[in-house]
Structure 1
Amino acid sequence: MRRKGTGYATVFYGTGYGNGFPDESRATIELSENGIVTVYVEVSDVGSGGYSIMKQIAEETLNIENDCLILKNTNTSYMKDSGTAAASRQTYNTGNAVLNGCKNLLDNISKVFQLSNSKVLNKDSLKKIYNELIKNNIEAIADGYFKATTSQVDLETGQGDPYWPYSFGLQKAIVEVDDETGKVDIIELVAINDAGKIVNPVLAEGQAIGGCSMGIGYALMEEIELSEGKIKNTNFSDYIIPTSKDMPKVKSIFVEEEERSGPYGAKGLGETVMLATAPAIINAIYDAINVRIYDLPATPDKVLLEINKNR
């Protein structure tokens, strides 16, 4: 018999390296004589949309047309260290560095040119600005810097600020469990995330759905098999991950509670989108068959074994 269950899970996740570890990002913003602004920033885009987000932050801050800006992020000979694409830190940390660099360039520009908030600058306008800067011996280049503020936790008192800011998530999973085979089918996932102001909604939704896919793999499929310290299942024919056919309908919702210390109110999203998936699924399995699975992944043989123990 197929039994349906619903499960929920919540998560909070600290952005950045945390616990007082130096967490710094840098960027350089340069206006050239051809009216092009170049952003030099070490943002490693591993599918999280960092490249696009840094461009959006720079274009918004400088109030320029998008064909006036290019971003260079692949050569350490011209960009400074901004840390890794890890710990859900890129949008918050590196975005703040880009924002700071753009504001510093605007400070230089304001010394010789009165800018209007309502007028979007094009290449011709930027060429004039560049010429004015050079004529007045003012640099057409500015650096940006940001350092996350955290502190180590006092192990005696438990006090400290190990992370800042925090992102939050809640997921709902609806599953069907076949109590004769132990097979679990996911019918629907609802993923609700608070990652501050969403800079790029399309990319964020894709990241949320991708995170759910990773969470499904963790909950139901992915398992490393070891023999004498060596991994036995070293390819995707025997290390199983979700495919498009395994994905249910995912409803993604963002609660945009703006983070005042983030670039335009944004904060981290990366890991948060996947952490609640597996516990929500496991809770849904429990709701369906009154069996608690503690050993992941919840493969059919494990689920069936627990069902038979409780018959």
Structure 2
Amino acid sequence: MLSEQTIQTLLQLAPKNEVWQTPIKGLFVHQCDKPQHFESYIQEPSVCIVLQGERQICLGDECTVFSQPHFMFCPVNMPVTMQVQHANAEKPYLSVSMKLDLEEVSRLLLRLPSHYPTATNDHTFNQWHLEQGLSEAFERLLNLLKTPNEIDFLAPLYQQEIYYRLLQGKAGEKLRALLSFGSHTQRIAQATQWIQNHFAEPLSVESLATQCGMSVSGFHHHFKKITHLSPLQYQKSLRLTEARKQLQAKPESIAAVAFAVGYESPSQFSREYNRYFGYSPRGELGGINLKNHLYIVDSF
């Protein structure tokens, strides 16, 4: 576990009740002193450590609570919800998240031996024990926030060590699967990226399966196994998340947003929006949010 001194430093540096994009590339710190609910954001491939308090991540109907001394590893882009339930001024919630530079991990992987530990489960969100080597590497990286002039030179070295520790640990199997050409994880990651880039277009599962070099049944099976959603459900979550972002950003007609994110029927859009978020899209117009939920698209 990271030292109390490092935790106190982060509590002083990080803004309260928001996600701080630090000067270190891909590194985010989230501190809050009150309960927060982040509705339907995209969790990118990343590793996250909860330093104080706990958070609940939900993917569809499956929810997992993360707390110290564990870390979370997410292998592919996921539309999830996150909730911090117990946080106050005396004991604020604090977590750190680092996006994975997959090109850098791939280069490192070529230099490592071929024998690795085997993972013990196959869930999308794994909760791994935070081993000492990984904890110390993160501590060195975070301490650079106190010496900004050293970040450019030392941060890439410490991040490379973090990748090394991940690959050598029990979480390494999932990370290697993401980078192994032809693996199920790599193919589904390719599919999720395609859907993200074309979410407003009609989705042909058959064409996407062919693009990934898989049968339709095999593609369905592995897509749902990795993301816990069908391809169409995944697309729907992206459409509704983007619609919510557009509605909150500026006053807009509901029909215009519905068409912009790929719906042919505004009434169908309104029904699915209500079912997904629990309230009508009309509540988002002009920045009015009936449930005061937060929207974010970044790792944390």
TM range (shorter): under 0.3
Higher helix residue share: 2
Structure 1 or 2, whichever has the larger Rg, is 1
Scaled by the length of structure 1, what TM-score is found?
Answer: 0.23
Scaled by the length of structure 2, what TM-score is found?
Answer: 0.23
Q: Which has the higher contact order (CA 8 A, sep 6+)?
A: 1
